[in-house]
Every structure is written in structure tokens, then in C-alpha cells.
């Protein structure tokens, strides 16, 4: 099954927000731009395959979150195998990213594992579910 190319997503977001997004130097899936109201915008476009258990997953690192802090408008556009997209504001997700739910390994460092289901996101170590509707730009 295919995953929508990040360039397609960036074009959709440019049209939706009337903004020009540029790839952040040395970051393959992160783009930035300036909105018409002079707010800085960042978009992160990770991808995941769909596993047989009915979910996909991505990691969100503390380094990424710290880098996003310099932007007013922070968007995750998670691309799933099979064509689903999860658009969300990073700010709406941060209450779910608790210290207790944070993981560590030598590859990602401190991070959260986001499990992506058809109608919600579950963060490892957090009982609360982040409800979301795939393929809906109006989530933003």
C-alpha cells in the first residue's frame, strides 16, 4: 500500500493556509513558513506503515518538540500507509505527552510513541485517547 508523498501534503497545506513552505535545512520531513499574520509555521510530515494489528506508529522526540517551540503554529501531518492522513496541532497533543509516558532509547533519545488507529491516537503510557478524524484539514 502506498503512502502519500510529503510534497503532496505540503502543497495541500500551502493552498489551505496561503503560505509558502520551505524544507528546513538538514530535516527531511520538516517544513517552515510565514503566515500572512506574521506567525511562524512549522509542519512535520512523518510516515508510518499500517501493521497487521490495525495501527501504525511514529515517534515524537523531545528534540523535535523543543525545535517546534520557536514557531507559533505547529502542525503534524502524519502520513499513513493506505492513504490516510492525520492533521493535528502539536499544541493540542502536548497535554498527552507527559513525563510519565515518555520513553528513552539511544536512537531517538527521549520520545513518545504515538500509536495511530483509524479514529484515535494513543500515546504509550497514557490512558487518555486523542480522538481524530483522518483526512480532515478542518482539524487544523
- How far, in Å, CA of 77 to CA of 122, rounded? 16
Q: Position of cell 539511544?
A: 106
The fold adopted by the segment(s) 6-139 is Trna Endonuclease; Chain: A, domain 1 (3.40.1350)
- Residue 90, φ and ψ in degrees, nearest 5: -60, -40
Residue 65: closest CA among 49, 76, 57: 76
Determine the Cα–Cα distance for residues 19 and 39; give it in Å rounded to an integer: 11
Q: Which three cell numbers stand for residue 31?
A: 517544513
Q: Give 107's Cβ-side CA count (13 Å radius).
A: 3
Tens of pLDDT, residue by residue, the chain (140 residues): 699 999 999 999 999 999 999 999 999 999 999 999 999 999 999 999 989 888 999 999 998 999 899 999 999 999 999 999 999 999 999 999 999 999 999 988 999 999 999 999 999 989 999 999 999 998 88
Q: Rounded to 5 degrees, what are φ and ψ at 82?
A: 100, -5
What is the sign of the dihedral through the CA atoms of 123, 129, 135 and 140? negative
Amino acid at each position: 500500500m502506498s503512502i502519500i508523498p510529503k510534497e503532496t501534503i505540503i502543497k495541500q497545506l500551502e493552498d489551505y493556509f496561503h503560505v509558502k513552505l520551505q524544507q528546513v535545512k538538514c530535516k527531511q520531513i520538516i517544513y517552515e513558513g510565514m503566515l500572512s499574520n506574521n506567525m511562524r509555521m512549522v509542519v512535520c510530515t512523518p510516515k508510518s506503515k499500517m501493521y497487521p494489528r490495525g495501527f501504525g506508529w511514529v515517534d515524537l522526540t523531545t528534540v523535535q518538540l523543543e525545535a517546534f517551540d520557536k514557531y507559533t503554529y505547529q502542525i503534524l501531518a502524519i502520513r499513513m500507509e493506505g492513504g490516510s492522513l492525520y492533521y493535528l496541532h502539536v499544541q493540542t497533543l502536548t497535554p498527552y505527552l507527559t513525563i510519565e509516558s515518555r520513553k528513552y532509547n539511544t536512537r531517538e533519545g527521549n520520545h513518545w510513541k504515538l500509536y495511530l488507529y483509524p479514529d484515535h491516537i494513543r500515546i504509550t503510557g497514557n490512558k487518555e485517547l486523542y480522538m481524530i478524524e483522518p483526512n480532515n484539514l478542518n482539524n487544523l
